[in-house]
Amino acid sequence: MSSSRCAGTIVAQLCAQGVTDAVLASGSRSAPLALALASAEAEGRLRLHVRFDERSAGFLALGLAKASGRPVPVLTTSGTAVGNLLPAVMEAHHSGVPLLVISADRPAALVGVGANQTTDQARLFQPFVRWSARVSSMASETSWAAQTARACVLAAGVGSCNPGPAHLNVELDQPLVGGEVALPELAAVVRESSGGSVAAPLVAGPRTVVVCGDAPVAVGRQAAQVARSGGFPLVAEPSSNARDEALRTGSLLLGSALAAEVQRVVVFGHPTLSRSVNRLLARDDVEIIVVSAAPEWPDAGWRATRVVSALVAAEPDDSGWLRRWQAADALLSARVDELVAGQPVLTGPAVAAAVVASVGSGVLMLGNSQPIRDADLATASSVTPDCSHSGGGSLIQDAEVLPGTGARVFANRGLAGIDGTVSTAVGVALASGEPVTLLCGDLTFLHDANGLAAGLGERRPDLRIVVADDSGGSIFATLEYGDVRYADSFERVFGTPPGVDPVRLAEAHGIPVRRVEDEASLTAALHRPIQGLDVVVATIDRAGRRALNAQLNALANLVD
């Protein structure tokens, strides 16, 4: 009876978000939503207005939204019923009115195969809506409320000052009715306005971790400031620009017993790198607060309940909370170093550590796939902890080492692909006017080899490209597909050894290049000044990559 539960959750979340009026044009596929709206009206949660003409229903909802200033949903069944809402949606778009279209639909698998009353209605209102989403009764239940809340917030223009229509296309599977239960009591997702310069406070109390994903320098600094002033552990991705004050082994520690004690997470940037972070953000026993000045916000776990544009951390209640994480990080860091140093051949983590150390306070670009994950365990040097902060008492005085490079770090983490990495690094170098180091894998390098070429008379960057050459895609060995049961197919369909020598390719472009096969040679190559474009190819062995990754993850189990 997932369709009934889905419909009830959607309507309950509408009420939680402050919806007071809803308009219904009846139909069959929309039956679960119609019954849920009727129940909501019977319980006094909203007023329901029923019309038989969808075009009229759309403009009725428009008028209600225009006069109230609140999002007003208009609900229809599938097919041409949805198309009749287009004039009202267009008017709402150009008038800035928070109209919310909720269209019932069949499951996506039935669209385009001749099923009754189906069409491609999920994209019907582009480009007139502020946001649209497909909601499936067969998806995770947490997504139903989260998508509904997001639609209300974005339609209202909170955080964007740009109200307008939004669209939820709700795919409902059979049985449509039966098993109805009381509408749940849900909490609103609060999006605090980005207007003004006063940051929102963070109430002291819950044991908190700050997570910073891919982010520009300003956002990374804000994440570090909140962690510092609140006495919170900071788990930051390599391209977060917050690594100076972050736990070096944060992603590994989130697989330890310490993670079970986390009660609240404050999220900055766009976290995409670590499965342990994703698991934390999806937990139903953790409060998720997202800091984002953009109209939309990251919430892949569907658990965020508060979204703010800026945040000031309160003085911590438990000064020992951070010290426990720092002590565990120091212990785990030593074990990581010991494990990596004990490998008989040059490894990805060793290459990443050498590259990060060589950059210092310069500019670093990280390729996706395995190299950026190897850089996630890298630390450049020990730095003196800064024990000053905006709160009271010393928060990090017991820390011996804080990892970090002070570097500005870039990566294409928007969609986390390997496309155009070399060209992006060239652009970073030309725009910054500083020497840049790029760390990438051999497939990433080959994929954008044309980025090495530029016409006569074009500006040349000061860029060093370090290619971690493992003759293929080592990241797949660390995932499910690297299991022995897929061994017969692994090399061809996942490992994909290219059979191309990156050294020869660089030479063909007339670029200085050298191959290194041990840490000493790599360190020597990296300490040469960066003048113009050059390439360093580090030979690494991916045969033991899966085992090494398992050993690294197992180290977290040794932390109390």
Predicted local confidence at residue 393, as pLDDT = 28
> How long, in residues, is the chain?
560
Condensed to tens digits (0 to 9), the pLDDT of residues 326-351 reads 999 999 999 999 999 999 999 999 99
pLDDT at 178 over 50: yes
Closest CA to 325 of 382, 412, 248: 248
**Domains by residue range for the chain, with CATH:** 2-186 (3.40.50.970), 200-319 (3.40.50.1220), 327-558 (3.40.50.970)
Predicted local confidence at residue 519, as pLDDT = 95
pLDDT band at 398 (very low <50, low <70, confident <90, very high): very low
Predicted local confidence at residue 262, as pLDDT = 97
Name the token pair of 366.
């990280």
Question: How many other β-carbons are positioned within 10 Å of the β-carbon of residue 49?
Answer: 18
Condensed to tens digits (0 to 9), the pLDDT of residues 463-474 reads 999 999 999 998
Closest CA to 533 of 441, 447, 374, 423: 423
Closest CA to 539 of 551, 527, 525, 549: 525
- Residues 6 or more apart whose CB falls under 8 angstroms from that of 515 comprise 469, 503, 536, 537, 538, 539
pLDDT band at 313 (very low <50, low <70, confident <90, very high): confident
Beta bridge partners of 467: 440, 537
Spatial separation of the C-alpha atoms in residues 389 and 52, rounded to whole Å: 62
Predicted local confidence at residue 160, as pLDDT = 87
Predicted local confidence at residue 380, as pLDDT = 42
Residue in this structure with the two tokens 């919170």, named with its chain if needed: 232
Predicted local confidence at residue 116, as pLDDT = 85
pLDDT band at 99 (very low <50, low <70, confident <90, very high): very high
Exposure class string for 229-265: b at 16+ Cβ within 10 A, else e: bbbbbbbbbbbbbbbbbbbbbbbbbbbbebbeebebb
Rounded average pLDDT over 484-504: 93
Spatial separation of the C-alpha atoms in residues 497 and 474, rounded to whole Å: 10
Asked if 324 and 258 touch (Cβ cutoff 8 Å), the reply is yes
Condensed to tens digits (0 to 9), the pLDDT of residues 508-552 reads 999 999 999 999 999 999 999 999 999 999 999 888 999 999 999
Condensed to tens digits (0 to 9), the pLDDT of residues 404-416 reads 447 899 999 999 9
Condensed to tens digits (0 to 9), the pLDDT of residues 198-253 reads 788 898 889 999 999 999 999 999 999 999 999 999 999 999 999 989 999 999 99
pLDDT band at 295 (very low <50, low <70, confident <90, very high): confident
3-state secondary structure 328-339: HHHHHHHHHHHH
Condensed to tens digits (0 to 9), the pLDDT of residues 359-396 reads 988 999 999 999 999 999 997 443 333 323 333 322 22
The Cα diameter of the chain in Å comes to 78
Spatial separation of the C-alpha atoms in residues 277 and 274, rounded to whole Å: 5
Write the CA distances from 361 to 61, 340, 381, 409, 434, integer angstroms. 56, 24, 11, 10, 11
Dihedral, CA of residue 396, residue 401, residue 407 and residue 411, to nearest 10: -90
pTM of the model: 0.88
Spatial separation of the C-alpha atoms in residues 149 and 130, rounded to whole Å: 14
Residue in this structure with the two tokens 């306005």, named with its chain if needed: 193
pLDDT band at 110 (very low <50, low <70, confident <90, very high): confident
Per the model's pLDDT, the better-predicted residue between 152 and 201 turns out to be: 152
Name the token pair of 451.
């980025």
Spatial separation of the C-alpha atoms in residues 284 and 143, rounded to whole Å: 12
pLDDT at 6 over 60: yes
Rg for the chain (alpha carbons), in Å? 27
Pairing state of beta strands 287-291 and 304-308?
parallel
**How many helical (H) and strand (E) elements, i.e. helices and strands, does the chain have?**
18, 20
Condensed to tens digits (0 to 9), the pLDDT of residues 276-289 reads 999 999 999 999 99
Predicted local confidence at residue 400, as pLDDT = 30
pLDDT at 195 over 80: no
Predicted local confidence at residue 197, as pLDDT = 59
pLDDT at 48 over 80: yes
- Residues 6 or more apart whose CB falls under 8 angstroms from that of 1 comprise 175, 178, 179, 180
Mean residue pLDDT of the chain comes to: 91
pLDDT at 560 over 90: no
pLDDT at 451 over 90: yes
Percentage of the chain lying above the pLDDT 90 cut: 81
